[in-house]
Chain A
Amino acid sequence: METRKRAFLKVIILGDSGVGKTSLMNQYVNRRFSNEYKATIGADFLTRDVTVDNKLVTLQIWDTAGQERFASLGVAFYRGADCCVLVYDVTAPNTMDSLDAWRNEFLEQADPLHHDEFPFVVIGNKTDIQAKSEKNSVTQSWCSGKGNVSYFETSAKNGSRVEEAFQTVAQKALEQDTELTKEAYPSPIQLPQDNNKSHEGCSC
């Protein structure tokens, strides 16, 4: 069994090519966006320390740019992820339509313990070009229909809401990680305590 180092949380960024995956990652980790000399590939993965619930954790963010069309290469990456970020471009509505495919692809390849509860964060990027996504409501309802999914609209260019989005990513990843650890080490049998009221049965 794989022993996990608790301090590291693995995050995967997925989405169609050109939606700004690399830029988002660079903006979050380096607080930098460059229009003129934008790096095409950036780093394979970047890490950043964040505080979540008074705990210092290290987010390990994996960029998947370039792998969009090569599903089986993803297998190695997705394994052990604690949270998955799905990115689309608010100015290109068709990139939102791919979210479903990306989510399924991830779930199939990463094969987490509970498919329905695995945390996703959806990001509509490029709000600097178009302030509000046309698909805002569509995306909102898509997210709410998928369980553990949060939605943010960001701009990797001016940094708007990037920080909040990734803070949520960290939060969710930590919850997921804690969940996994709990399952890996089953908690001892809880003896019923007198002061704990039983919720079984109708109290009305």
Chain B
Amino acid sequence: MMATRIMMFFLLYNTIEITMCQFQVVIIKNWTIEKLYSICCLYFSCILIQKPFLLHSVVYIKIFHRKNVYLLEKVSKAKDVEQGEKMKTSGEQLIMDDHYAVDSIRPKCIELQRMCDQYRQLLRRRRELLEKSHDLQDRIDNANKWCNKGIDLLANQQLDQGKSHEGADLAVVDIENFASVQKVLKRIEDVHGMCESRKEQIRKMVNVPKRPVQAVKPEPVPMSQVDGDLKRKGTTENTYRHPDIYEKSARLRTDITQSRPYITPPSPAGGSFSSLSDTLSDKARNSYSSMSTTTSSGSSVSDLDTMMAKRRHVLNELIETEKTYVTQLEDILKGYCYEMDNRHMQHLIPEELIGKKEILFGNLEQIYNFHKNIFLHELQNCQDAPAKVGKCFVQRNEEFHLYSIYCQNKLRSEALRNQIGDQNPFFMECQRRLRHKLPLGAYLLKPVQRITKYQLLLKEMLRFTDHDRECETQLQEALDSMLDVVRYVNDSMHQVSIVGFPGNLADHGRLLMQGGFTVSTEHKKEKIKDLRFKPMQRHMFLYEKSILLCKKKEDQHQHSEKRIYCFKNLLNAPSLPVKEMWVKEIKRVLMNQFDQIKVTFEIC
């Protein structure tokens, strides 16, 4: 069917222009009044359906601005109305000619007339809106330019000018000339504050229940009132009358999903704001009101919806940053690591680097595979079920220990990279191809940074999960496990610096804790006669099966100063009960000594 085809076409492209072209073609091909009428109806109803879309576009001015201007021109010609009129006239002509289907044509002509009128009215209204949006856009642009100017002025003012009197005076005059930044900022803040307090007031008014049973759906803040408030109180220059708009439209540009009719500026043409909100479709209104809870200020944190929305937001951040992370790892691997095997790059690779891929990148590929093939998918599966996120982390706890291997290798990798330098032709070429602003070193730190961020995100999610006990427990468990992972990674980085240990550290189980302690031992009499008891700094490593005592040393050879732990003692108990007893006692003694030292330090 032609009608469905056009409908599909329309749905596909969702633009007036295309519908119109199609429409015109149709007119030429099917010049029977029946078809013409049905297509015409379809076309008009398309226009009517399109209305909310267009209204949104008024809000998304930035994106649709150019299209809007184009439409503005098109609309002003009102070609399509002419077509409708033409059709109606030809219909009337057919009636005059006493067409066989005169009974069916007449009501259709009347209907066409009605639609033409309605359409014309809508066009007029839309034109007004578009003009307003244009105006708003201009103002925002102006405000933006002004802000940029201010920032540039401040950035370009040389601070050393301030050292001399004339320089300082000049700088002050410059700033004052620039419409007094501070004052305007203050005003913006004032107006912002006024808006906030008014919103608060309105919210309170709305919250007073009119009936014993209150509607669950929260009402959007009536923005027109805020707008009125602004109009009355806004005393700053035209361009800065709505700092709020600037801020919010900036957010709009980044957060498209949030459809919301923000305040329109007072139009010189006298168009009313209400026309915008009146014509909002129900669908748009619903989506708006469901979002409005999330945009309200922190005063209603207890609100369940707000909490859920915020939690969803953190979850989104977790997933989005995970995606970015995977891409970044891929960049490093494809852009640097795999390039080392590229035949055409061989001549660029510095000699020191040949065969040292493992040292430079460590187990980055393993980490990448885990995140790309497993973890990202598991997180994405939780997109709609934040309650399941905790489980992802707990289940994958073991895999995260890949990071301790990576971090332990990081020191070797760093030393190698420092030896080669970031400026070698191979790295430079890879960096250029990747269009990375920063050298490889910055990107090799990504895993180290990422592993510390999960706990932050989990903490944040936990903050917004008061209402769901089960979820809370799981998130807490996830948080604890991720903190353990980071602690382990952190501790194990010390372990790599242990030197002189006869044997394999892996035989002593997992490293549980490490830290500096003060150990006091008796010195050999012949060496130091008068100081018989001397406290020493020892770095202790507590393993599952033993304790290691090491001496911390700064090893400064060449340019890479390195901290090392010289192995001194290994404590191993003959049996478990003995161990437990000793551990208890040692703990007591050490704690005592530690406390004593602390006291002496405090006295000092």
Considering only CB atoms, which chain A residue lies closest to B496 in the complex? A72
A163–B314 touching, CB < 8 Å: no
B155–A73 touching, CB < 8 Å: no
Considering only CB atoms, which chain A residue lies closest to B189 in the complex? A158
A5–B251 touching, CB < 8 Å: no
How many residues of A are in contact with the other chain, CB < 8 A? 42
B493–A73 touching, CB < 8 Å: yes
B561–A51 touching, CB < 8 Å: no
| Mask: chain A, 1-28; 1 = CB below 8 Å from B; 0 = not | 1110100100000000000000000000
A58–B455 touching, CB < 8 Å: no
B438–A171 touching, CB < 8 Å: no
Q: Is B557 an interface residue (CB 8 A)?
A: no
| Mask: chain A, 25-38; 1 = CB below 8 Å from B; 0 = not | 00000011011110
Q: Is A164 an interface residue (CB 8 A)?
A: yes
Closest-CB distance, B320 to chain A (whole angstroms): 9
Residues in A whose Cβ lies below 8 Å from that of B155: 50-51, 163, 167
User: How long is the Cα–Cα vector from A160 to B189 in the complex, in angstroms?
Assistant: 11
Considering only CB atoms, which chain A residue lies closest to B487 in the complex? A70
Q: Is B173 an interface residue (CB 8 A)?
A: no
Q: Is A136 an interface residue (CB 8 A)?
A: no
Binds B, one of A41-49, A82-90, A138-146, A187-195: A41-49
A58–B457 touching, CB < 8 Å: no
B313–A5 touching, CB < 8 Å: no
- Whether A60 touches B456, Cβ cut-off 8 Å, given contacts A44-B445, A44-B449, A111-B561, is no
Residues in A whose Cβ lies below 8 Å from that of B510: none
| Mask: chain A, 56-100; 1 = CB below 8 Å from B; 0 = not | 001010000111001111011101000000000000000000000
Considering only CB atoms, which chain A residue lies closest to B558 in the complex? A1
Considering only CB atoms, which chain B residue lies closest to A39 in the complex? B317
Q: Is A179 an interface residue (CB 8 A)?
A: no
Q: Is B218 an interface residue (CB 8 A)?
A: no
Partner of B446, one of A44, A66, A73: A44
B321–A37 touching, CB < 8 Å: no
Q: Is B410 an interface residue (CB 8 A)?
A: yes
Residues in B whose Cβ lies below 8 Å from that of A111: 561
How many residues of B are in contact with the other chain, CB < 8 A? 55
In residues 162-199 of chain A, which contact B (Cβ within 8 Å)?
A: 163-164, 167-168, 171
- Whether A40 touches B314, Cβ cut-off 8 Å, given contacts A65-B456, A167-B159, is yes
A160–B185 touching, CB < 8 Å: yes
Partner of A66, one of B189, B296, B313, B456: B456
B452–A66 touching, CB < 8 Å: yes
User: How long is the Cα–Cα vector from A44 to B314 in the complex, in angstroms?
Assistant: 17
Q: Is A54 an interface residue (CB 8 A)?
A: yes
Q: Is B448 an interface residue (CB 8 A)?
A: yes
In residues 115-170 of chain A, which contact B (Cβ within 8 Å)?
A: 158, 160, 163-164, 167-168
- Whether A66 touches B455, Cβ cut-off 8 Å, given contacts A3-B421, A53-B160, A76-B448, is yes
A41–B159 touching, CB < 8 Å: no
Considering only CB atoms, which chain B residue lies closest to A164 in the complex? B154
B437–A40 touching, CB < 8 Å: no
User: How long is the Cα–Cα vector from A145 to B147 in the complex, in angstroms?
Assistant: 37
Q: Is B107 an interface residue (CB 8 A)?
A: no
Closest-CB distance, B594 to chain A (whole angstroms): 18
Closest-CB distance, A171 to chain B (whole angstroms): 6
A54–B407 touching, CB < 8 Å: no
User: How long is the Cα–Cα vector from A47 to B436 in the complex, in angstroms?
Assistant: 12
User: How long is the Cα–Cα vector from A40 to B147 in the complex, in angstroms?
Assistant: 27
Residues in A whose Cβ lies below 8 Å from that of B453: 40-41, 65-66
Closest-CB distance, A20 to chain B (whole angstroms): 14
A8–B317 touching, CB < 8 Å: no
Closest-CB distance, B154 to chain A (whole angstroms): 5
Considering only CB atoms, which chain A residue lies closest to B444 in the complex? A76
B189–A72 touching, CB < 8 Å: no
Considering only CB atoms, which chain B residue lies closest to A8 in the complex? B438
User: How long is the Cα–Cα vector from A58 to B250 in the complex, in angstroms?
Assistant: 25
Closest-CB distance, A150 to chain B (whole angstroms): 11
User: How long is the Cα–Cα vector from A168 to B453 in the complex, in angstroms?
Assistant: 29
User: How long is the Cα–Cα vector from A31 to B314 in the complex, in angstroms?
Assistant: 21
Considering only CB atoms, which chain A residue lies closest to B152 in the complex? A51
Considering only CB atoms, which chain A residue lies closest to B445 in the complex? A76
Which of A66, A71, A160 counts the most chain B CB atoms within 10 A?
Answer: A66
- Whether A163 touches B154, Cβ cut-off 8 Å, given contacts A36-B297, A66-B456, A79-B414, is yes
B452–A47 touching, CB < 8 Å: no
Residues in B whose Cβ lies below 8 Å from that of A71: 490
In residues 387-418 of chain B, which contact A (Cβ within 8 Å)?
A: 407, 410-411, 414, 418
User: How long is the Cα–Cα vector from A167 to B157 in the complex, in angstroms?
Assistant: 10
User: How long is the Cα–Cα vector from A164 to B438 in the complex, in angstroms?
Assistant: 25
B154–A167 touching, CB < 8 Å: yes
Q: Is B238 an interface residue (CB 8 A)?
A: no
Residues of A within 8 A of B (CB): 1-3, 5, 8, 31-32, 34-37, 39-41, 44-45, 47, 50-51, 53-54, 58, 60, 65-67, 70-73, 75-77, 79, 111, 158, 160, 163-164, 167-168, 171
Residues of B within 8 A of A (CB): 147, 151, 154-156, 158-160, 185, 189, 250-251, 255, 294-298, 310, 313-314, 317, 321, 407, 410-411, 414, 418, 421-423, 437-439, 442, 445-446, 448-450, 452-453, 455-457, 460, 486-487, 489-491, 493-494, 559, 561
The 10 A-B residue pairs with the shortest CB-CB distance in the complex, in nearest-first order: A66-B452, A70-B490, A72-B493, A44-B449, A40-B460, A66-B456, A41-B453, A3-B421, A3-B423, A67-B452
- 21 A-B pairs whose Cβ atoms sit less than 8 Å apart in the complex: A2-B559, A3-B423, A34-B251, A40-B314, A41-B317, A44-B449, A51-B155, A53-B158, A53-B160, A60-B438, A66-B449, A66-B455, A70-B487, A71-B490, A72-B491, A72-B494, A73-B448, A111-B561, A163-B154, A163-B155, A167-B159
Given A2-B421, A36-B294, A167-B155, 5 other A-B residues pairs in contact with their CB atoms under 8 A: A39-B317, A40-B317, A76-B410, A158-B189, A164-B154
